Structure 1
Amino acid sequence: MTTTTAAEQLLRLHRTGRLASDYPLVRDLLADVPPESRDLLRRAGAWLSRLNPDEVLRAHPDTSALTVAITGHGTLAALIAPLTVEFARHGLLLRPVLSDFDSYVVDLSDSDSDLYSARPEIVLCLLDPALIFDEVPTPWRPEDVRAVFEAKVALVAGLAARFAERGAGTLVLNTIPLPRTRTAALVDHRSRAELGAAWREANARLLRLTAAHRNVVVVDTDSLLADGIPAGDARLSVYAKAHLSTELLAGYAREIGHLARNLTGRAKKVLAVDLDGTVWGGVLGDDGPEGIEVADGYRGEAFRAFQRTVRQLAAQGVLVAAVSKNDIEPVRTVLREHPGMTLREDDFVRVVANWRPKHENLVELAEDLNVGVDSVVFADDSPYERGLVRRELPAVAVITLDDEPAWHVDRLLADGWFDTVELTAEDRDRPTKYRDELVRKDFLNSFDSIQDYLSELGVAVRVFAAGEQDVNRVAQLSLRTNQFNLTTRRLQPADVQALIRDPDALVLALRTADRFGDNGLVGAILAHREADVLHIDNFLLSCRVFARGVEQTALSVLLRHARDTGAGSVVGAYRSSAKNSKVREFYPRNGFSTVTDDGAEAVFRHDLVDIAAPPEHVTLTEELG
């Protein structure tokens, strides 16, 4: 769909008053709008920001709505429209809570403030240059700026610590851009260099706050300004106290949209790339291995840069697959033997090369990897292939590439499809583990029965009390796991850390291994005790290890632990989502009786009289502390 067509359809929805009733269409209309189409995004943001979120939810109750509190030093109302449109691009709904001018200190330090009362999932505290220069004397020297900035960093660090104590939501800060008008006001270059050094050192301390607090994120504005957008607008700054430009706010909003997508479990897992015209130049079937553009020449260098970026993503846990209309053997030959290739066959979890429609291959790829098609990002230079995938698989994120390979990297990274708050060791090992999983599937196909397969697989399960070193991975499971997620409760690292430290809470982690290797930390059970009842707040399990007896083993351990520590019963809940229907009957199938069930939510109870033993094919290790 062209940008013009998207604009016309959005305008039609706006004029006919159907934006709320047709809200899911907005995501599809905006999906392919590039960041440089600022005018369309600005207009769409203005229309969407006028919607009443409750009206959208009445029409579409399954829409994920996030409360976002906005505070800072300057006037920030202009952020709401771009933030609204960026949320809509990812199928999310914004509930903004805008603070008064320059109220960030009170907002973040007073636990009774309106900001905390709103219980936001995300808090945006925007920092701007006026925060520093409003307190610098006139005339001033670089050391004056250094002193003020250091004091402000100390203040912000204290506010971040105060926020972290509450353990609720994610606080987003930002580095502060240095306006040219400030450096140019110094006439000697040595002073300018001293100012630049002091400014960057202070910003570096802001960036390091993410290491001190698990629920703090810092957006680095330098990467946004590097794209050529202005940091501020002199008129808006002087007359309206809006010290960050509308262009910078739009770029910032895009980053927050990526963060919100991650926090609601919508991060992507699979990058499926075309080969001809995408990974290399030319058509392998026509040009042969010696004729494709890989590394030599200026276009070859552009394809090499794209390959390096794809490999960089794979090294951080993105599951990279090739989906190409080609014969498989020539493709494998190029990936294994071509001297100019950066990507090799081992960098892909799956290489699919045939002449079937690509949307069919993508469905099969998702099934093989045991992920939903909405976890897939598809990059192709062919308008026909992209259009077909968009029509047949609207849940797949499609990246528009064309015959200019120099733009491939920018377009691949523009929407931060694989962004996450923090990488874990399991992330980096994910491609290897998924390749092992495909070997397991081939192994399964050699058996006549699933029980024979499981007996030979050698499943080992370790159930243990989670510690501080497991916080990030358990939080990530709650954010990224959608299928085996009983209540879809999303937790930030600070939330998990608080539970681990709570004497009335229980956080169990699950690690598994088998004859093909270690699967890592693949599941968690979160529970808390009230009198003699143990309540299961959530049960999470990676889709990689479904149906091997892991879930039954872990539940058996939990039930026995509850009985042995004096509990009279265990209560578990199920909350329906778009993806977890396969676990609706998990508790009833494992000895729980139904207490309530209204279709959307259900509560189940186990009386701890008859507790099933772990499956015989599982080797169990318990370390409950």
Structure 2
Amino acid sequence: MTQHAQHTERRDAVAPGTWDDPGALHTLRELHRSGALAAEYPAVPSLLARMPRSQLPAAGQLLARLDPKEVRRHAPEVTAVPVAVTGHSTVAPVVAPLTAELARHGLLLEAAVAPYGSYLEDLMRPARAEEPQLTLCLLDPQTVFDDVTTPWRVADVAAAARARLALLGSAVRMHQEAGRGLLVLNTVPLLRRFTHQLVDLRSRSRLGAVWRDFNTGLLELAERHPGVVVVDLDPLTGEGVPAYEPRTGQYARARLSDLLLAAYAREAAHVVRARLGRTRKVLVLDLDGTLWGGILGEAGPDGVELGSGLRGEAFQEFQRTVAQLGSQGVLLAVSSKNDDGPVRRTLSGHPGMVLREDDFVRINANWKAKHDNLRDIATRLGLGLDSFVFVDDSLFECGLVADRLPEVAVVRVDAEPALHAPALLADGWFDLFELTEADLERAGRYRTEALRQEFREDTGSYQEYLEGLGIEVVLRPPDDTELGRVSQLTLRTNQFHLATERLQVAQVAEWSERPGHHVIAVRARDRFGDHGLVGALFLRRDHETLRIDNFVLSCRVFSRGIEDACLAAVLAFARDTGATAVTGRYLPSPRNTAFASFYADHGFAVTGTDPDAPDAVFFRHDLAAPAPAPAHLRLDAAFGPFDGDRA
């Protein structure tokens, strides 16, 4: 049997992790019934990945019954997410779908549900000790219409909407000024049950305009407050999700339908995932049946479906979606069971191609297993597999990758190309809080990285390679335009992230403005190009001690001496400003264990742990003999004016 024939035969073969497996819910129920669900919680994401989406609410009901403390006792490695849930009406029904959506990503919801209708008091109160740093505030049509008396006119609704928006604006400002973390609001659907109480069409049009102004005001709250996210419900209701169910709305005061809450929970889970730094960076695509129709090895470049005909246009539209993601910094790669030459000729020369060869940072067209190709791409890019999304139309290939590489997000598309884009976009894998210049330049930088790889292969020793790179490291306080990138590094970097603190832009700005505090941005370049802003140090002066509260560095510049240069610069700054010691803090996470000994390896001694965080380890350097920066690079460090006041 030829390789092409084997490929064709296996595309729809059954494999581990079969999609839309109704038995997955049965397995979950059995685990719950036997009392083993808490202990088996780490296996839940794979069960939910195989489950039809229609079964997720039932799964959420089971998972919401678990005691989070019991789950953490059995599986301390699972990340718990404390969330305060409040709103205008009954909000408890969102807990089950949100539990399921977070569990799909290996997260454990710890929900604190506020009493009915208490949202304004919840937002306006002062901060409390150890409260959740994430608040979901659900708004519904009664947020406005509770203030409208019967009979009413459009002008009455407009007045109520303006007053409610002003009150919400004040509440949001107080929530943010109290430093209570991320706040998630939502736009409010306008229901037919209100529009059609007006019998004249002109009034209905005016009501629609009033309502859109109200939602615009809600969306603008996110522009005014960096710590606010507004989930727009219009795209969800626009795709047919019902906004309201009359019986539960009337009798249970649940003013948003269960289906809309389930869709909202998925969007909210994407926000949580972005906040935890779990945004994906790489999109790896199959070709045959995914980017074009047909099998290239059998039909040839001129025979694939692409650009002409209904299906060819659908494949072309999917490519436009992929290109749009790529234009915003998502790295595109190919893993295809095909011969390399025909693939590159098709990418470069087919008139229907939207994506071209240069749009991909890596093309692996060969006959190796897909999971091996993904490992190769990850190695060459210097990225973890947990930053990858893999798209394929083959059930076999998707199942095999999901089984062999569980950290990879797998998106299975089917034989209908018109549904490829919705499948890819359904989970918001690439969602982030703010797009930065570094995102837009990412693809070019990773293409440059391929040149570094070639240079490395042509040099003898690793030291010779480093000396030939001509690395320059610049340390400076970030300007206002760079705060978003610094925040993004804390949110998205997981490996060299010594204290794993996730900071929004406002928190970075607040830190840098405090007396005795320094935020230092790390920039790097070499003979092949500019790496850009790749790291950040968060320093705090406490009398004669300079504390490194956090140190984060992009994974793409590991092991080139940049981290050593940064630490040497901090020690020199401390000594030059009269400090007698520098302390560092390491807080373990599932992804940063490779750097547990970083401080110890650089002359720091262990001094103890943090009573409030027993896993955190403190280190101290007495500045007696600080090591200089590595000789193979040039260091330019200027930390700004010294402020010796204690924080």
Fold shared, TM-score > 0.5 on shorter chain: yes
Distance 1:517 1:143 in 2: 60
Letter aligned with residue 623 of structure 1: A
Distance 2:96 2:423 in 1: 23
Distance 1:63 1:573 in 2: 22
2:28 pairs with 1:10: yes
Structure 1, unaligned stretches of length 5 or more? none
Letter aligned with residue 475 of structure 1: S
Q: CA deviation at 1:33?
A: 3.6
Q: CA deviation at 1:597?
A: 7.2
Q: What does 1:406-485 correspond to in 2, within 5 Å?
A: 406-485=418-497
Q: CA deviation at 1:93?
A: 0.5
Q: CA deviation at 1:180?
A: 0.7
Tell whether the 8 Å contact from 1:374 to 1:397 is kept in structure 2 after alignment. yes
Q: Which moves more between the two structures, 247-256 or 443-452?
A: 443-452
Relative to 1, partners in 2 of residues 1:167 and 1:429: Cα closer, same or farther, differing over 3 Å? farther
Partner of 2:11: none
Tell whether the 8 Å contact from 1:317 to 1:428 is kept in structure 2 after alignment. yes
Partner of 2:114: 99
Q: CA deviation at 1:67?
A: 0.9
Tell whether the 8 Å contact from 1:295 to 1:303 is kept in structure 2 after alignment. yes
2:38 pairs with 1:26: no
Tell whether the 8 Å contact from 1:66 to 1:121 is kept in structure 2 after alignment. no
Q: CA deviation at 1:451?
A: 2.2
Choose the corresponding residue for 1:356, options 368, 389, 393. 368
Tell whether the 8 Å contact from 1:142 to 1:195 is kept in structure 2 after alignment. yes
Show CA shifts across 1:136-185 (max 9, x none). Answer: 12221212111111111111111111122123321001101100111111
Tell whether the 8 Å contact from 1:64 to 1:264 is kept in structure 2 after alignment. no
Distance 2:68 2:234 in 1: 33
Partner of 1:194: 206
Letter aligned with residue 405 of structure 2: L
Tell whether the 8 Å contact from 2:49 to 2:104 is kept in structure 1 after alignment. yes
Tell whether the 8 Å contact from 1:570 to 1:607 is kept in structure 2 after alignment. yes
Q: CA deviation at 1:534?
A: 1.4
TM-score of the superposed pair, with normalisation by structure 2: 0.93
Structure 2, unaligned stretches of length 5 or more? 1-17, 641-647
Q: CA deviation at 1:55?
A: 0.2
Letter aligned with residue 263 of structure 2: G
Tell whether the 8 Å contact from 1:484 to 1:583 is kept in structure 2 after alignment. yes
Show CA shifts across 1:32-53 (max 9, x none). Answer: 445xx33x11111111111100
Partner of 2:587: 575
Report the secondary structure of 2:584's partner residue: strand
Choose the corresponding residue for 1:235, options 226, 240, 247. 247
Q: CA deviation at 1:473?
A: 1.1
2:126 pairs with 1:108: no
Distance 2:171 2:361 in 1: 44
Partner of 1:375: 387
Distance 1:233 1:567 in 2: 65
2:219 pairs with 1:204: no
Distance 2:257 2:570 in 1: 54
Report the secondary structure of 1:3's partner residue: coil
Tell whether the 8 Å contact from 2:276 to 2:502 is kept in structure 1 after alignment. yes
Distance 1:307 1:621 in 2: 43
Q: CA deviation at 1:595?
A: 2.2
Partner of 2:9: none
Letter aligned with residue 16 of structure 1: S
Q: Which moves more between the two structures, 235-244 or 375-384?
A: 235-244
Choose the corresponding residue for 2:400, options 388, 393, 401. 388
Partner of 1:543: 555
Report the secondary structure of 1:454's partner residue: helix
Letter aligned with residue 27 of structure 1: P
Q: What does 1:105-254 correspond to in 2, within 5 Å?
A: 105-111=120-126, 116-117=128-129, 119-254=131-266
Q: What does 1:62-81 correspond to in 2, within 5 Å?
A: 62-81=77-96
Distance 1:561 1:163 in 2: 37
TM-score of the superposed pair, with normalisation by structure 1: 0.97
Report the secondary structure of 2:441's partner residue: helix
Q: CA deviation at 1:118?
A: 5.2
Q: Which moves more between the two structures, 596-605 or 288-297?
A: 596-605
Report the secondary structure of 2:523's partner residue: strand
Distance 1:259 1:438 in 2: 32
2:408 pairs with 1:404: no
Letter aligned with residue 623 of structure 2: L
Tell whether the 8 Å contact from 2:125 to 2:175 is kept in structure 1 after alignment. no
Q: CA deviation at 1:455?
A: 2.0
Q: Which moves more between the two structures, 268-277 or 140-149?
A: 140-149
Distance 1:101 1:378 in 2: 42
Q: CA deviation at 1:614?
A: 1.5
Tell whether the 8 Å contact from 1:460 to 1:620 is kept in structure 2 after alignment. yes
Q: What does 1:264-275 correspond to in 2, within 5 Å?
A: 264-275=276-287
Distance 2:320 2:508 in 1: 35
Report the secondary structure of 1:484's partner residue: coil
Partner of 1:619: 634
2:512 pairs with 1:497: no
Tell whether the 8 Å contact from 1:32 to 1:400 is kept in structure 2 after alignment. no
Report the secondary structure of 2:180's partner residue: coil
Q: CA RMSD in A?
A: 1.5
Distance 1:168 1:552 in 2: 35
Report the secondary structure of 1:271's partner residue: strand
Distance 1:161 1:565 in 2: 38
Q: CA deviation at 1:248?
A: 0.8
Tell whether the 8 Å contact from 1:164 to 1:494 is kept in structure 2 after alignment. no
Tell whether the 8 Å contact from 2:518 to 2:639 is kept in structure 1 after alignment. no
Partner of 1:87: 102
Letter aligned with residue 5 of structure 1: G
Letter aligned with residue 91 of structure 2: L
Distance 2:485 2:195 in 1: 44
Distance 2:399 2:636 in 1: 50
Q: CA deviation at 1:466?
A: 2.4
Distance 1:166 1:329 in 2: 60
Letter aligned with residue 82 of structure 1: P
Show CA shifts across 1:434-491 (max 9, x none). Answer: 1111211111111112222222211111101123322211111111111111121222
Letter aligned with residue 500 of structure 1: S
Distance 1:44 1:424 in 2: 37
Distance 1:446 1:597 in 2: 45
Report the secondary structure of 1:208's partner residue: helix
Partner of 1:320: 332
Letter aligned with residue 68 of structure 1: V
Partner of 2:619: 604
Q: What does 1:276-355 correspond to in 2, within 5 Å?
A: 276-355=288-367
Partner of 1:256: 268
Distance 2:317 2:42 in 1: 35
Distance 1:350 1:70 in 2: 43
Q: CA deviation at 1:369?
A: 1.1
Distance 2:207 2:552 in 1: 50
2:527 pairs with 1:515: yes
Letter aligned with residue 219 of structure 1: V
Q: Which moves more between the two structures, 391-400 or 599-608?
A: 599-608
Q: CA deviation at 1:581?
A: 2.2
Q: CA deviation at 1:621?
A: 2.1
Identity %: 50
Partner of 2:12: none
Q: What does 1:558-573 correspond to in 2, within 5 Å?
A: 558-573=570-585
Show CA shifts across 1:271-301 (max 9, x none). Answer: 1110000000011110001000111000011
